[in-house]
Amino acid sequence: MWSGTITFGLVSVPVDMYPAIQSDRTPLRMLSPDGVPLKRRYYSQENDRDLADDQMIRGYELSKGKYVVVTDDELERLAPDRSRDIDMRRFVDQQSIPPIYFERGYYLTPGGETEKAYRLLAKTMEDSGRVGIGTFVMRGKEYLVAITAENGILRAQTLRFSDEIRSPGDIGLPRKKKVNKAAVTKFEKLITKYSKTQLSPRELKDEQTDRMLKLVKSKQSRRKDIVKVEDESTSDGVVVDIMDVLKKSLAARR
């Protein structure tokens, strides 16, 4: 949760911000062939030695094998002020923001001891059809954000910066050309046939994730392909060879 204040002019509206999306529903851990959980590590490609945090520096790559080193102190000086405000700079028509700019969604809830300012801002923005554009700082990084209102609730969506958006020409898309009118009519009929007034949330179902969860539950019920990593030592102090235990466990299930 992030707590702060929406500010513009002489107006201040305390808010709390919560992510509007859930994390991955099917987190999969990487395991060795013997079922031992794996983890990533930093190491030197030159001597294959693991590096501690205090042995690593950051570098901006200028060209292949050539870097400019940036220190932690320099990054700290470049970081934005630790403000707790969403600084609203302007209000624009919602349709003026291309969908490709929207990134991550959040819910804004009333902060502080009163909801009056929150409800007033949400009502005014919803009636006007306007979106507030501003910036805020979270975890040391400044974000561009769009504040929208719907059904009395304020939402925030982080926006991509303009230099992050590729143009059609960047990827070789052809320029607009005239098309056959009869072909357009055919496509119009097909679109009309499959059109609905509204999109149902049921149509946004993650079927692949559902299939994955069914597979996991099926294997769990049949006790198939389940590997349990025991502690390295038993309660009586006897050291156990984990690799040997796992190999035997997997062999017994085959």
Per-residue model confidence as pLDDT tens digits over 81-133: 777 889 999 999 988 999 999 999 999 999 988 899 999 999 999 999 999 99
Residue that terminates a domain, selected from 164, 185, 218: 164
DSSP summary character for residue 165: P
Tens of pLDDT, residue by residue over 6-62, are 998 888 999 999 999 877 667 788 888 878 888 888 888 778 888 888 888 889 898
Q: What sign does the CA torsion over 215, 217, 219, 222 have? A: negative
The reply to whether 178 falls in a domain is no
Residues 227 and 148 in one domain: no
Average model confidence (pLDDT) for the chain? Answer: 84
Give the pLDDT score at 252: 53
Helix spans in the chain (H): 72-78, 116-128, 181-193, 207-222, 242-253
Q: Examine the fold and report which residue of 164, 198, 227 is the final residue of a domain before the chain moves on.
A: 164
Neighbour count for residue 5 (Cβ, 10 Å): 18
Structural domain of 232: 207-253
Asked if residue 92 belongs to a domain, the reply is yes
Q: What is the pLDDT of residue 78?
A: 81
Look up the CATH number of the domain holding residue 136: 2.40.290.10
Cβ atoms of residues 114 and 33 within 8 Å: no
- Check whether residue 105 and residue 160 sit in a common domain: yes
Residue 40 within a domain: no
What pLDDT score does 217 carry? 86
Note whether 94 and 151 are same-domain residues: yes
- pLDDT, residue 235, reads 46
Question: Stretch 173-194: mean pLDDT, rounded?
Answer: 88
